[in-house]
Structure 1
């Protein structure tokens, strides 16, 4: 019996040893597993995004919150600048090796220039077919968003002219003007601005502009002069009519003189030259000006921040001698891309997939911020009447412009070398309205000569490096100012 007890005791000791060993092993395994679990979630990263989309600010803030909740390992650091601030800031950041992970191309810059400068990396391997199929036709095209067969950028919105005129209907009534019949000619426009200024007695003025924002002045000259027959457009530094830089043409001078006349009348808001575009928009929203030249993204801001503002949308005025063209409607333009130096391209791609998702794009359209590049979103989400009105006025008064880069993608090599001479068109008009320049004629002639020279030099330099291009690529013999330039026209001119 004692022997049996001894055997039983040994068995118990053996079992206890096994349990202790098992516990130790389990503990060690648990610690290892905990260590693996701590390492297994994706590394916490900060994704830096920079742009100038100020009208989108409240919606972007909510988008970022939603994004960080969905992807808790990614923190978004968003920097919002004005368009002029952005151009200087991004150039400095890239040169110093401190570029944000996601950023757009500065206004007026060609994709080819940015790619040649090593700003962006191709998006193709990060974006699947499902994502690409979300977009309307034409978004991804060689020469605009594609370079050498690779996607580098995505447009921000459906491109429409951004130089229509918003007008304050109440100030119209106060000045004895008909808000249902806004001015159609230069002289009518100038007279309306003067009438609003006089009757308001310092409480409001005829017109306001973001005078510090040079691109706003440039866009107005390009687009409004096209209505007068200049043939200028956003896709080329030279005219579609004369095939050279005709910045000293009658159509351009008439626009310059119109704005100078408005300034001479005292109809510009006195703060105009000290304002950035968003600041000018805010003062218009407060009823301090009768007119402002701007884009559709303003509608949502005013509806949100100035719900009592009674405003309408009108086409730009045309010369008293009559209309000789249409507003140049741009093709899709590159906007945001992933930095070539980012350490987090996959996270950046996630950001793009969410940003260009139907949910967020519908928010922007519904809010009156922009018309989307996604299929069906505009039709389903647009609700604000003034927003719809902007679209109708823009389409009626514009025609799709031909693009040199779509016609011959190799012309990208030209734009990679071409630099806009300074002072440019926007600088000249800015100086005229500020009073720093009395007569634009000499400056416009000098600019025309400088642009022609700069373009010729860029063409020769690109050809010397093997680009199959020619000055004739800028000539569109089958272009008509009153028709859209479509795939049919590109095909015909290539034969």
Structure 2
């Protein structure tokens, strides 16, 4: 969360997109989670495949148990878990792509409690484990391994093209336009590509750009008032920037249909100037064309006028779960605990995917300089957001039944780029209304079921941009 369906909440997709998952699956079936004598580990982290294969082999020797590691493409990971659950083959540990509130997953039997040693707990930064996000009643159910201090619409560019054409790292919309125009006028290279065929990636990058532009919330929901406002000028400006880039002919042909691997692969080939991608881009590029790594440079994240960047993120979400019906619980938890070790944090840092929960590990890892710079930028630019489910854990009961909204932001942006949507602000206003109605309905259902929850739980009038929120 967040491929950005896997990043959408730093390891999971938005709640509304998968609210029907538990109903569709009927909760986990009885039977062995591992389906055999050894452990089964599934995740959807493309940039970590090789590192996780090696870690699985090493831990198999340490724990004295076979470990079968499987990587699933982000777009297929949820379906794979559904099918595994239905066939009584849920893996013993799996990454967080379900996107549902912790309480809903626990109540439905999808999760096993994770009892970590005092030594393991002591390796996490203060404030990592949060009630309602990774814990319930003080019991850990989700293991957070990736830092909440990150932003996702990073402006990656080819340093050799920058030197050849002659442009500076852009920080404002106008500076990006000027750099793209310079590349186009030079004629040797293609200015830019994006993963515009992935509506989830489009959604999350526009959410990020809007927050960077000053939107006082996340995913269309204002922190201060608890109201949806997708039609805010910050959203309009971010979408119009992408529209102008597209209309100006600055995008690689085919970009409108590119999924993330397509766009990243074209950029890594070396003939495209810019690619907006998350901090995990170097890890993904290395898997596609390692020779491109020395050419990678990053300019942080754009703001409309080059203002200081301020990003707000919630508490670290779970990265991994143990299956509720695993028949190898002790070994599964031992494997999860191994992820807290400094050695694994170094592996995670060196993979240049999402930054590890311990950001200090990056300084000790073998990473390219732009990645190290970006992680340091996260320290000063990213702040802790208020979350309704943290202040009132019963909010999770509403989130668990919130109906999916379609079309979502990414779909609308795709329609606008393609010409099917002509009144962008009007469509975004409709999206705000639809999201608000969906949340209202979820609150009513949860209240009727006995939860103490109201829309006021989403209101944080004391929130201040650029500070860590304290409850």
Pair 1:163–1:440, CA change in 2 (3 A)? same
- State the match for 1:459 in structure 2: 443
* TM-score normalised by the chain length of structure 1: 0.80
Pair 1:108–1:213, CA change in 2 (3 A)? farther
Separation in structure 2 between the aligned mates of residue 459 and residue 387 of structure 1, nearest angstrom:
41
Pair 1:172–1:216, CA change in 2 (3 A)? same
Pair 1:89–1:271, CA change in 2 (3 A)? farther
For the pair shown, the structure with the greater C-alpha radius of gyration is: 1
Q: 2:145 aligned with 1:156, yes or no?
A: yes
- State the match for 2:130 in structure 1: 141
User: Shift in Å at residue 470 of structure 1?
Assistant: 2.1
- State the match for 1:360 in structure 2: 344
- Where does 1:328-367 land on structure 2 (aligned, <5 Å)? 328-367=312-351
Q: Judge conservation of contact 1:82–1:276 (CA < 8 Å) in 2.
A: no
What is the aligned counterpart of 1:88 among 56, 73, 79? 79
User: Shift in Å at residue 333 of structure 1?
Assistant: 1.1
SS in 2 for 1:66: helix
Separation in structure 2 between the aligned mates of residue 97 and residue 190 of structure 1, nearest angstrom:
53
- State the match for 2:193 in structure 1: 208
What is the aligned counterpart of 1:48 among 30, 40, 44? 40
Q: 2:295 aligned with 1:306, yes or no?
A: no
- Where does 1:49-128 land on structure 2 (aligned, <5 Å)? 49-76=41-68, 78-106=69-97, 108-124=99-115, 127-128=116-117
Q: 2:249 aligned with 1:266, yes or no?
A: yes
Alignment deviations for residues 53-93 of structure 1 (CA, whole Å, 9 cap, x no partner): 110112112112212233443231x2222322213332343
- State the match for 1:289 in structure 2: 272
- State the match for 2:28 in structure 1: none
Q: Judge conservation of contact 2:225–2:461 (CA < 8 Å) in 1.
A: no
Q: Judge conservation of contact 1:365–1:372 (CA < 8 Å) in 2.
A: yes
- State the match for 1:230 in structure 2: 215
User: Shift in Å at residue 194 of structure 1?
Assistant: 3.5
Q: 2:181 aligned with 1:190, yes or no?
A: no
What is the aligned counterpart of 1:221 among 196, 201, 206? 206
Which consecutive residues of structure 1, in runs of 5 or more, have no partner in the other structure?
Answer: 1-42, 491-495
What is the aligned counterpart of 1:255 among 238, 261, 264? 238
Alignment deviations for residues 93-136 of structure 1 (CA, whole Å, 9 cap, x no partner): 33454322211222754333433443212223xx3323222222
- State the match for 1:431 in structure 2: 415
Higher helix share: 1
Pair 1:279–1:348, CA change in 2 (3 A)? farther
Number of aligned residue pairs: 434
Separation in structure 2 between the aligned mates of residue 89 and residue 73 of structure 1, nearest angstrom:
24
Separation in structure 2 between the aligned mates of residue 259 and residue 354 of structure 1, nearest angstrom:
42
Q: CA RMSD in A?
A: 2.7
- State the match for 1:7 in structure 2: none
Task: Using the TM superposition, name which of 416-425 and 388-397 deviates more.
Answer: 388-397
Task: Using the TM superposition, name which of 131-140 and 104-113 deviates more.
Answer: 104-113
User: Shift in Å at residue 245 of structure 1?
Assistant: 1.0
Which consecutive residues of structure 2, in runs of 5 or more, have no partner in the other structure?
Answer: 1-34
User: Shift in Å at residue 302 of structure 1?
Assistant: 4.2
SS in 1 for 2:222: coil
Separation in structure 1 between the aligned mates of residue 339 and residue 309 of structure 2, nearest angstrom:
36
Separation in structure 2 between the aligned mates of residue 279 and residue 154 of structure 1, nearest angstrom:
31
Separation in structure 1 between the aligned mates of residue 41 and residue 414 of structure 2, nearest angstrom:
30
User: Shift in Å at residue 378 of structure 1?
Assistant: 4.2
Pair 1:72–1:211, CA change in 2 (3 A)? farther
